[in-house]
Amino acid sequence: MYRLAVYHNCSDMRINLILFGPPGSGKGTQAAKLVEKYGLLHISTGDLFRYEMGNDTPLGQEAKSYIAKGELVPDSVTIGMLRNKVEANPDVPGYIFDGFPRTIPQCEALDALLADMDESISRLIMLDVPDKEIVERILNRGITSGRSDDLDQAIIQNRIDVYKNETTPVFDYYAAKGKSVKVAGVGSIEDIFIRLCSEIDVL
């Protein structure tokens, strides 16, 4: 009943979210909770690549050919995978895009894909977590994860810097459209979730 209410309150428009968060921000945990509450489809580009390449689809084969040459997979291939996923799930009340877009051309490609469906991005939500907190979280995770990169503070900081460099232009792109917001990503899982929901429920 709740999911239907959300859907109709939005004038039958889907809730299309871009969810950003630095490594260690708990983005995956929050995405899962949003899926459960709103019935949204979580679309991770990493999962898409693994599926398409693992099933040796035409797009997967194309991606492999670029990777084998040590080249970046073109945006056209990635957006093709996104289009396949979206078109295969036409009845969901919306999507959470995770890991895409990362550049302005990718923003434009995603906007064009949604425009073909007479839709658009509803909101870009960034989980805002101080660097110091992120470093502490990942170092603590490294104690049990067994990953050496989770125990190297220089590597962790580099990952944070890469995230910021990638996401800042995308955040600004949607901010210019009045669609970007930052949500404090500190506190309990439930507190952060409530903040995210408060941004979604007004859409």
Bridge pairing between strands 15-20 and 180-184: unpaired
Structure tokens at 121: 């991005």
Q: Are 126 and 196 in contact (CB under 8 A)?
A: no
Q: Supply angle C-alpha 166, 172, 178, rounded to 5.
A: 140
What is the DSSP secondary-structure string of 14-39?
Answer: -EEEEEE--TTS-HHHHHHHHHHHH-
Name the residue with tokens 């110091």.
132
Integer Cα distance of 154 and 45 in angstroms = 26
Of 44, 19, 18, 23, nearest to 163 by C-alpha is 23
**Residues designated catalytic:** 27, 102, 141, 147, 159
Structure tokens at 23: 């490594």
User: Which residues have a Cβ under 8 Å from the Cβ of 36 and sit 6 or more positions away?
Assistant: none
User: Which residues have a Cβ under 8 Å from the Cβ of 117 and sit 6 or more positions away?
Assistant: 86
